[in-house]
């Protein structure tokens, strides 16, 4: 891995004269918003509807109201957001982004704000405020890094999700997120890939595996009675490095002797309802997985290498689509594919030769949603140590990134939260700067050649953005790509 020109992410002054002007998301077209049950255009009484939706969000989420009232402007979070670190826009400080919402809350939902708005930073709800919300709530990846540093645990991602849902309620939605949700609702996956195309893709991947291993390895679809329903991000079926990770997962399941299947009803793990802020959209997408699991009579549900898929699965799936009382009692909640793999490694049910990965000197990127987003400190939910145990089992040369950029403090890739879209390329590049700076240090100090990630969005972002920082797009790897390389399969 070549070392690019020196990158830095110093503590940035609160206001920078050289702050870059960020790009902004495209709004979804009226017909798309209507297809998802929202207004197609801004209603004439939009202000009343915004305030009504805001009231509903505050009543639904006790945490949101606490976040509105508990911030003391201490400054602990000011330099913790990667978009602020990379771009310097003061509104991307977590406290400032919260205040875009909090200032309206104070004006209409607090006594002090109604009588003395100038004393408490309250402001009127105007059309310009909605534009500001749309711009900056779509420069937040909902990564939760700021919550790690906040002394009272305020989570800006909750504010972002509330703001996005309120905007959608008056017909203002982000094109990328709403388009993906519509594809999942109508076809079953983010790419809009019909079942016939999925079957052809799986047949092609079976041929690739046969050519590589000399072993016929099936990728079953809609196989009733299989033990495991494997749900993966749609990028795993066609794009590098995703597909290599998928084939690694398939090799592991084949070697384990466990029966498994994909589903044409729920061929997509990702849940962009999290990015739209809509509980109903999250629920509708989650129900597809439950329906598929019931129809196929599986005993376990396993999620592949997808960050927000796992965040939704671990945190919300039971509430959204439960109970899953039809699953095996030993596996009552969905599993991450790494849990399956690490268990097979620990019980020596698969054979690994990690010298097969000696060409790689790797570091590991803690993907926000798989790690911090799925529960701080949880061994199963927040995937901190399990990925490292797997890496050390399949690779001789693994080095950590610098302290302060891993585990709970990890930096976002810069494209989470629905920001993986071309019109936000400048924002994505700015948001990636802290991670690229940390990567540079481990490259210089340890000779790292590749970075490993276990999130589809992270892998897509890094493949596109790493060349912007002097690296090569193929220097990001899937975790199970390395597992598949090291796996010794019996002929």
**pTM of the entire structure?**
0.92
> Please, what is the average pLDDT of the chain?
90
Query: What is the per-residue pLDDT for 486?
Result: 98
Locate CATH 1.10.1060 in the chain: 30-179
Query: What is the per-residue pLDDT for 308?
Result: 87
All residue ranges of the chain with pLDDT < 70 are 1-22, 375-382
Per-residue three-class SS string for the chain: CCCCCCCCCCCCCCCCCCCCCCCCCCECCHHHHHHCCCCCCCCCCHHHHHHHHHHHHHHHCHHHHHHHHHCCCCCCCCCCCHHHHHHCCHHHCHHHHHHHHHHHHHHHHCHHHHHCHHHCCCCCCCHHHHHHHHHHHCCCCCCCHHHHHCCCCCCHHHHHHHHHHHHHHCCCCEHHHHHHHHHHHHCCCCCCCCHHHHHHHHHHHHHHHHHHHCCCCCCCECCCCCCEEEECCHHHHCCCCHHHHHHHHHHHHHHHCCCEEECCCCCCCCCCHHHHCCHHHHHHHHHHHHHHHHHHCCCEEEECCCHHHHHHHHHCHHHHHCCCCCCCCCCCCCEEHHHHHHHHHHCCCCCECHHHHCCCCEEECCCCCCCHHHCCCCCCCCCCHHHHHHHHHHCCCECCCCCCCCHHHCCCCCCCCCCCCHHHHHHHHHHHHHHHHHHHHHHHHHCCCEEEECCHHHHHHHHHHHHHHCCCHHHEEEHHHHHHHHECCCC
Interval 217-235: pLDDT, tens:
999 999 999 999 999 998 9
CATH fold of 30-179 reads: Fumarate Reductase Iron-sulfur Protein; Chain B, domain 2 (1.10.1060)
Query: What is the per-residue pLDDT for 367?
Result: 93
Query: What is the per-residue pLDDT for 228?
Result: 97
């Amino acid at each position: 891995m070549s070392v690019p020109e020196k990158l830095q992410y110093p503590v940035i002054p609160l206001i920078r004269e050289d702050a870059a002007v960020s790009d902004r998301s495209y709004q979804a077209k009226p017909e798309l918003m209507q297809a998802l049950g929202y207004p197609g255009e801004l209603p004439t009484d939009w202000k009343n509807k915004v305030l009504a939706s805001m009231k509903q969000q505050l009543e639904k989420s006790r945490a949101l109201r606490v976040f509105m009232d508990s911030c003391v402007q201490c400054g602990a979070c000011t330099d913790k957001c990667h978009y602020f670190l990379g771009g310097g826009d003061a509104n991307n400080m977590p406290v400032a982004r919260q205040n875009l919402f909090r200032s309206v809350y104070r004006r209409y939902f607090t006594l002090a704000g109604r009588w003395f708005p100038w004393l408490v930073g309250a402001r009127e709800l105007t059309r310009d405020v909605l534009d500001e919300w749309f711009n900056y709530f779509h420069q937040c990846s909902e990564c939760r890094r700021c919550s790690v540093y906040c002394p009272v645990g305020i989570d800006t991602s909750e504010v972002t999700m509330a703001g996005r849902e309120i905007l959608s309620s008056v017909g203002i939605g982000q094109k990328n997120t709403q388009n993906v949700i519509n594809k999942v609702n109508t076809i079953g996956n983010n790419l809009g890939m019909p079942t016939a195309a999925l079957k052809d893709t799986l047949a092609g991947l079976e041929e690739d595996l046969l050519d590589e291993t000399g072993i016929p390895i099936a990728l079953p679809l809609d196989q009733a009675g299989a033990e495991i329903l494997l749900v993966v991000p749609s990028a795993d079926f066609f794009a590098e490095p995703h597909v290599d990770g998928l084939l690694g997962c398939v090799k592991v399941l084949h070697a384990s002797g466990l029966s498994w299947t994909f589903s044409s009803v729920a061929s997509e793990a990702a849940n962009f309802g999290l990015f739209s802020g809509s509980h109903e959209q999250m629920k509708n997408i989650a129900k597809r997985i439950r329906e598929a699991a019931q129809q196929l009579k599986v005993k376990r549900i396993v999620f592949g290498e997808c960050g927000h898929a796992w965040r939704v699965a671990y945190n919300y799936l039971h509430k959204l689509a439960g109970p899953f009382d039809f699953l095996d009692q030993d596996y009552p909640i969905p599993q991450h594919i790494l849990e399956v793999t690490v268990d097979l490694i620990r019980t020596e049910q698969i054979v690994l030769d990690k010298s097969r990965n000696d060409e790689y000197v790797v570091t590991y990127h803690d993907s926000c949603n798989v790690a911090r987003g799925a529960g701080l400190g949880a061994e199963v939910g927040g995937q901190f140590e399990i990925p490292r145990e797997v890496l050390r089992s399949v690779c001789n040369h693994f080095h950590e990134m610098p302290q302060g950029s891993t585990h709970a403090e990890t930096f976002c890739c810069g494209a989470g939260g629905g920001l993986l879209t071309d019109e936000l390329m400048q924002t994505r590049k700015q948001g990636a700067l802290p991670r690229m700076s940390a990567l540079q240090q481990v490259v210089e100090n340890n000779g790292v050649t590749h970075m490993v990630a276990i999130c589809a969005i992270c892998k897509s972002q890094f493949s596109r953005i790493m060349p912007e920082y002097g690296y090569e797009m193929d220097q990001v790897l899937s975790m199970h790509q390395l597992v598949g390389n090291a796996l010794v399969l019996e002929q």
